[in-house]
Chain A
Amino acid sequence: MKFPGPLPIRAMFARKLTGRMIVWRIFPLLLIILVNATILRSQQLIDAPAADKQTLQLLLQRIDQLEARVKQLEAAKQQAAPVSLPSATAQSSAPPVSEAEPQADNAVPERMDSSKTLLRMRGFGDITLHGDNQRHDTTSFSLGQLNLFITSDISEKFKFLSEIVFEGGPDNIFGETRGENNTFGVDVERMVVQYSHSDFFKLAVGRYHTAIGYYNTAYHHSTWFQTTTGRPFLFQFEDRGGILPVHTVGASASGLIPSGHLGLHYVAEVGNGRASRSPITEEPVQNVVDDQNHKAFNLALFARPDAVRGLQVGFSAYRDLLAPASLPRIGETIFAAHAVLVRPKFEWLNEILLVRHAPNGIPRVFNTPGFYTQLSKQFGSYRPYFRYQYVNASSTEPIFPDVGLRQGPSFGLRYDASETVAVKLQYDYTALRGQPAVNALALQVGFTF
Chain B
Amino acid sequence: MPRLAGLLFILASAVFSMAALSLALVPTLGRLPEPQITTEQNLAIVVSLSNPVENLSMAELRRIFLGERSHWPNGRRITLVMMEPGQPERAVVLRDICQMNETDFNNHFLHGVFTGEVLVSPKTLATPVGVRKFVFNVPGAIGYLRVSDLDSSVKAVRVDERGPEDKGYKLHVPPRSSK
Q: Which residues of A contact B114 (CB under 8 A)?
A: 122, 149, 220, 222, 225
Instruction: Give the residue name and chain of the A residue nearest to B104 (CB).
Output: A344
Contact bitstring B80-112, A, C-beta under 8 A = 1, else 0? 000000000000000000011101101110110
* Contact call B140/A105, Cβ cutoff below 8 A: yes
In Å, the complex CA distance between A153 and B129 comes to: 27
- A97 near B10 (CB under 8 angstroms)? no
- Asked if A441 is at the interface (CB within 8 A of a chain B CB), the reply is yes
Flag if B79 contacts A217 (CB, 8 Å): no
- Does residue A173 face the partner (Cβ distance < 8 Å to B)? no
Question: What string of 1s and 0s marks CB contacts (under 8 Å) between B21-51 and chain A?
Answer: 1100110111000000000000000000000
Q: Is A391 engaged at the interface, CB distance under 8 Å to the other chain?
A: no
Q: Are A138 and B6 also in contact (CB < 8 A) when A102-B137, A102-B138 are? A: yes
Interface residues on A, range: 35 or more
Q: Quick one: given A415-B21, A423-B18, are A196 and B77 in contact (CB under 8 Å)?
A: yes
Chain A 427-445 per-residue mask, 1 if CB under 8 angstroms from chain B, else 0: 0000000000001011101
Q: Cβ of A131 and Cβ of B10 under 8 Å apart?
A: yes
Alpha-carbon separation in the docked complex, A380 to B29 (Å): 9
Given contacts A417-B21, A443-B14, contact A106 B3 (CB under 8 A): no
Given A102-B138, A198-B71, A415-B22 contact (CB < 8 Å):
yes
Q: Does A419 contact B (CB under 8 A)?
A: yes
A198 to B72: give the CA distance in the assembly, Å. 8
- The answer, yes or no, to whether A171 is at the interface (CB within 8 Å) is no
Min CB distance B145 to A, Å, is: 13
Instruction: Give every chain A residue within 8 A of B75 (Cβ-Cβ).
Output: 198
Query: From residue 327 to 384 of chain A, which have CB atoms closer than 8 A to chain B?
Result: 344, 380-381
Which residues from chain A contact B130 at a C-beta distance below 8 Å?
A: 101
Question: Are the CB atoms of B18 and A131 closer together than 8 Å?
Answer: no
A139 pairs with B21, CB closer than 8 A: no
A95 at the binding interface (Cβ < 8 Å): yes
In the complex, chain B residues 7-21 whose Cβ is within 8 Å of any chain A Cβ: 7, 9-11, 13-14, 17-18, 21
Instruction: Please tell me if A167 contacts chain B, counting CB pairs below 8 Å.
Output: no
Pairwise interchain contact A139-B106, C-beta atoms closer than 8 A: no
Inter-chain contact B3/A133, CB cutoff 8 Å: yes
Supposing A225-B114, A344-B100 touch, asked if A153 and B120 sit within 8 A by C-beta, the answer is yes
Number of interface residues of B (CB under 8 A): 54
Verify A101–B137 contact, CB threshold 8 A.
yes
- Residue A210 at the B interface, CB < 8 A? no
Chain B 132-169, CB-CB to A under 8 Å as 1, else 0, gives 11101111100000000000010000000000000000
Of the candidates B9, B14, B79, the one whose C-beta lies within 8 Å of that of A425 is B14
Q: Is B170 an interface residue when CB atoms closer than 8 A count as contact? A: no
Q: Bound complex: CA of A448 vs CA of B109, how far in Å?
A: 14
Is A416 an interface residue, CB under 8 A from the partner?
A: yes
CB distance from A424 to the nearest CB of B (A): 9
Q: For the complex formed, measure the closest distance between the CB of B48 and the CB atoms of chain A, giving whole angstroms.
A: 9
User: Which of A95, A105, A133, A413 contacts B132 (CB under 8 A)?
Assistant: A95
A418 CB–B CB distance under 8 Å: yes
Given contacts A104-B139, A105-B79, contact A418 B28 (CB under 8 A): yes
* Assembly CA distance A418 to B21 (angstroms): 9
A159 with B119: CB separation less than 8 A = yes
Contacts of A218 in B (CB 8 A): 115
Closest B residue to A200 by beta carbon equals: B71
Which residues in B have their C-beta under 8 angstroms from that of A443? 10, 13-14, 17
The distance from the CB of A283 to the nearest CB of chain B, in whole angstroms, is 23
Report A97-153 residues with CB < 8 Å from chain B CB.
97-98, 101-106, 122, 129-131, 133, 138-139, 149, 151, 153
A192 (CB) vs chain B CBs: closest residue: B116
Q: Quick check: B134 and A102 within 8 Å, CB to CB?
A: yes
Shortest 9 CB-CB distances between A and B: which pairs?
Answer: A139-B6, A344-B104, A425-B14, A417-B21, A131-B6, A443-B14, A306-B59, A198-B71, A415-B18
Question: Which A residues are closer than 8 A to B by beta carbons?
Answer: 94-98, 101-106, 122, 129-131, 133, 138-139, 149, 151, 153, 156-157, 159, 161, 192, 194, 196, 198-199, 204, 208, 217-218, 220, 222, 225, 261, 306, 309, 344, 380-381, 413, 415-419, 423, 425, 439, 441-443, 445, 448
Q: A101-B125, A196-B77 provided; 20 other pairs, C-beta below 8 A?
A: A94-B137, A103-B137, A105-B138, A130-B10, A131-B9, A138-B6, A139-B6, A139-B9, A149-B114, A194-B119, A196-B119, A199-B69, A199-B71, A208-B116, A309-B99, A419-B103, A425-B10, A425-B11, A442-B10, A448-B110
**Interchain residue pairs with CB less than 8 A apart (21):** A95-B133, A102-B134, A102-B138, A131-B6, A131-B9, A133-B3, A139-B3, A139-B6, A159-B119, A194-B119, A220-B115, A225-B114, A344-B107, A344-B108, A415-B21, A417-B21, A419-B30, A423-B18, A425-B10, A439-B7, A442-B10
